[in-house]
Amino acid sequence: MKSNILKIAITGHTEGIGKEIYDYFELFGHNVKGFARANGYDLSEDYQKVIDEIIEWDADIVYNNAWSYGNQAQLHILKTLHEHWKDERKSIISTGSASGYAKDKVGNDVYANDKEALSEYAKKSAMLWPHKNKCKVQNVSFGYVQTKFLKGVHNFKNYIPVEAAAKILIDLYHDRKRPYVIAEQLVTHKMTSKEEHENLKKIVTTNVTESVLKSYV
């Protein structure tokens, strides 16, 4: 009888959405492994190290959560693992962003374009599952989540709680055995006035820039 304990890998597991996911699966007794700058895995310097260790560890599910500026690490992790596991019933679940849908990119174009690429890849991969690739790819594009990027924002409570965002991603792990795949989900927050939205963009741009300078993972 096969064990119900899964090997679950999470990038960016020390804060925000990633930490909530890590803590949940650890609480329920799964074998969880995190990859973040805090424990020696800096995606901005060497994302291939993360890929190699996830493959060697033979994870069942990968939460492709962390983003890195300028090298498309999140997309490379997704593509490499998806191709490597094409003959295996694995799952890769990415934390995307609604900024990829926006015509006026928020924060910076690099971030939004990277997130758009994750969404597009997930949708295209659904057309290959499972006849050409047995590995499921799923992406959730979130609106503004109550993370450090929203520090100083008015009406902070109007945006998506970290716990709620994590739960949406956690629930997808049940899909690994289902005879269908939900490739892409768009989860939005309460819409704001144009004036408030413009102010929000300025704050988020500043916070994202500061985070990039600190090598955010």
Token pair in block for residue 35: 């990859």
Q: Above 50 in pLDDT, residue 1? A: no
Per DSSP, 78 falls in state H
The stretch 73-82 carries a mean pLDDT of: 98
Per DSSP, 161 falls in state P
> d(Cα 169, Cα 16) in Å, to the nearest integer?
13
Q: Above 90 in pLDDT, residue 13? A: yes
pLDDT, the chain, mean:
90
Q: Above 80 in pLDDT, residue 129? A: yes
**137-141, 173-177, 191-195: the lowest-pLDDT one:** 191-195
Pick from 18-32, 97-111, 140-154, 202-216 the range whose average pLDDT is largest. 18-32
Q: How many residues does this entry show for the chain? A: 217
**104-108, 122-126, 135-139, 166-170: the lowest-pLDDT one:** 104-108
Q: Has residue 185 been placed in a domain?
A: yes
Can you give the CATH number for the domain in which 20 is found? 3.40.50.720
Q: Has residue 131 been placed in a domain?
A: yes
The angle that helices 162-171 and 16-27 make with each other, rounded to 10 degrees, is: 50
Q: Has residue 48 been placed in a domain?
A: yes
Q: What is the pLDDT of residue 196?
A: 74
Q: Has residue 1 been placed in a domain?
A: no
Instruction: Specify the number of domains making up the chain.
Output: 1
Q: Has residue 2 been placed in a domain?
A: no
Q: Above 80 in pLDDT, residue 107? A: no
Q: What is the pLDDT of residue 191?
A: 74
Q: Above 80 in pLDDT, residue 122? A: yes
136-150 pLDDT tens trace: 999 999 998 988 878
Which percentage of the chain shows pLDDT scores above 70? 91
Domain hosting residue 11, numbered range: 7-213
Q: Which residue has the tokens 């009888």?
A: 1
Sheet holding 61-64, edge to edge: 31-35, 7-11, 61-64, 91-97, 136-142, 184-187
> d(Cα 14, Cα 208) in Å, to the nearest integer?
18
Per DSSP, 30 falls in state -
